């Protein structure tokens, strides 16, 4: 079970972590040392959610325990705005962060445009030898390392244990079972079974993986979102709604989903480790033991959930690159990752962190680590993030009935090929 920590204890623990962190990143660009001491300001754009940001701000500001002449300027940027806002800042060089918390799908894009500073050689070696291989892969572009993995995640089925028990059902393992379970919950409680988030492409991925498909095949440079498996995935999304197994909304999906789940208006939702802290804040989960997590229900072919997460990267135009790289090394240190797992149920990217007692004791970490090991790794191509916008549009249309599954798949394929010029 996740345990809290007092603010003073948090800062003290992280001060020790900062002291243990190397002060010299080994990067010879943008040196901010004066007399062997790091100086200057490191501006960090953090994209964590409302339930996480206070903890991350305390962690970040504790960096000054080792480097008292470095000021950490913490800026929380809403995740949905961060990719485009960062591109604009990096392009203009105005108000750009020294360090950004980037979704794993953004790194190759930023690197391909020359926005990111290459990770120092010694740190890159650590990434290759001390981090989960699938996490390390997300920070690379054309054989070079441009980001250090901070957290890794995937999706699972969150469920209200009491609501399922009252209905006499167990967590569903397939989409067909989900419909049966939802019907039982509706009959017993009058509440909906599942909230299906219909306004975010990431939530479409388990559906297409479940039908044996994928968005693209990077090896053959082929768009696959509109093949037979893709059409089945769009059909599966719509069927969950028309069958009554799920409710959805075309807008404000995160807020509506979390509100419905925390208040007991729905018994289940599909979400990731980043939602645990916020879910615990709901009336239904004052007793944290009432929150259950299971694998995402399988489609007609298999079960599959995407690999996600966030990496930390340094802006190539930063005037404080040495301090910025040292900050990244600190923020991805084992001590900090263990603290984040303990306080926020987030999954570490360092292999050795999983051997630490505070990580082993985390119920949500115990579930999500095996799930991450089975998660489907996406194609780490520069266009990865750009594909999600047209996919979101068509996914929403299919879920809400604004377009047929066939038309949604076809339209997504057309837009993908416009982005991926020359792909089949």
Q: Is the pLDDT confidence value at 29 over 50?
A: no
pLDDT tens-digit series, residues 255-311? 999 999 999 999 999 999 889 989 999 999 999 999 999 999 999 999 999 999 999
Gap between the Cα atoms of 394 and 56, Å rounded: 34
CA distance 78 to 85: 10
Per-residue confidence (pLDDT) for residue 76, from 0 to 100:
96
**Each residue of 70-96: pLDDT tens digit?**
999 999 999 989 999 999 999 998 889
Write down the pTM of the prediction.
0.83
Task: Please name the residues in contact with 403: beta carbons below 8 A apart, sequence gap of 6 or more.
Answer: 394, 397, 411
Q: What is the pLDDT of residue 35?
A: 60
CB 391 within 8 A of CB 223: no
Paired sense of beta strands 266-271 and 192-195, if any: parallel
Q: Output the furthest CA–CA distance in the chain (Å, rounded).
A: 72
Q: Is the pLDDT of residue 13 over 60?
A: no
What whole-number distance in Å separates Cα of residue 396 and Cα of residue 224? 19
Give long-range contacts, CB 8 A cutoff, 24+ apart: 83-88.
83/109, 83/385, 86/45, 86/110, 86/115, 87/113, 87/115
What CA–CA distance (Å, rounded) separates 241 from 249? Answer: 10
Q: Which residues pair with 310 in a beta bridge?
A: 103, 151
| R_g over Cα of the chain | 22
Burial class (CB in 10 A: 0-12, 13-18, 19+), 421: exposed
User: What are 329-370's pLDDT values in tens digits?
Assistant: 999 999 999 999 999 989 999 999 999 998 988 888 888 899
Assess whether pLDDT exceeds 70 at residue 145: yes
Which among 359, 415, 360 has a CA at the least distance from the CA of 388? 415
Does the structure show a pLDDT above 70 at 9? no
């Amino acid at each position: 079970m996740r345990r809290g920590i007092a603010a003073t204890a948090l800062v003290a623990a992280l001060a020790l972590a900062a002291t243990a962190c190397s002060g010299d990143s080994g990067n010879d660009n943008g040196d901010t040392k004066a007399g062997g001491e790091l100086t200057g300001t490191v501006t960090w754009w953090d994209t964590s959610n409302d339930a996480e940001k206070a903890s991350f701000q305390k962690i970040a500001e504790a960096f000054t325990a080792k480097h008292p002449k470095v000021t950490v300027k913490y800026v929380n940027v809403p995740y949905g705005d961060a990719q485009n806002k960062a591109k604009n800042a990096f392009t203009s060089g105005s108000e750009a962060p020294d360090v950004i918390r980037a979704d794993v799908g953004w790194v190759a894009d930023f690197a391909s445009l020359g926005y990111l500073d290459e990770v120092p050689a010694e740190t890159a070696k650590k990434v290759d030898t001390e981090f989960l291989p699938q996490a390390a892969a997300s920070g690379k572009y054309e054989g070079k390392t441009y980001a250090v993995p901070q957290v890794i995640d995937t999706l699972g089925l969150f469920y209200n244990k009491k609501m399922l028990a009252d209905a006499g059902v167990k967590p569903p393992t397939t989409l067909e079972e989900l419909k049966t379970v939802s019907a039982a919950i509706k009959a017993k409680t009058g509440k909906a079974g599942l909230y299906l988030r219909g306004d975010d492409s990431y939530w479409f991925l388990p559906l297409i993986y479940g039908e044996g498909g994928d968005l693209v095949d990077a090896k053959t440079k082929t768009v696959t979102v509109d093949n037979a498996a893709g059409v089945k995935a769009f059909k599966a999304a719509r069927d969950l709604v028309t069958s009554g197994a799920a409710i959805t909304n075309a807008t404000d999906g995160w807020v509506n989903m979390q509100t419905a789940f925390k208040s007991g208006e729905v018994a289940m939702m599909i979400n990731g480790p980043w939602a645990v802290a916020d879910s615990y804040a709901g009336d239904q989960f004052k007793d944290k033991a009432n929150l259950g997590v299971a694998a995402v229900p399988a489609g007609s072919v298999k079960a599959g959930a995407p690999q996600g997460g966030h990496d930390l990267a340094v802006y190539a135009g930063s005037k404080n690159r040495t301090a910025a790289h040292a900050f990244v090394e600190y923020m991805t240190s084992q001590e900090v990752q263990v603290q984040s797992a303990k306080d926020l149920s987030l999954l570490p990217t360092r292999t050795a962190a999983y051997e630490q007692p505070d990580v082993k004791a985390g119920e949500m970490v115990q579930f999500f680590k095996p799930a991450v090991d089975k998660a489907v790794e996406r194609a780490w191509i520069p266009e990865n993030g750009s594909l999600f916008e047209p996919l979101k549009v068509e996914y929403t249309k299919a879920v809400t009935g604004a377009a047929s599954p066939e038309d949604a798949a076809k339209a997504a394929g057309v837009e993908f090929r416009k982005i991926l010029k020359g792909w089949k």
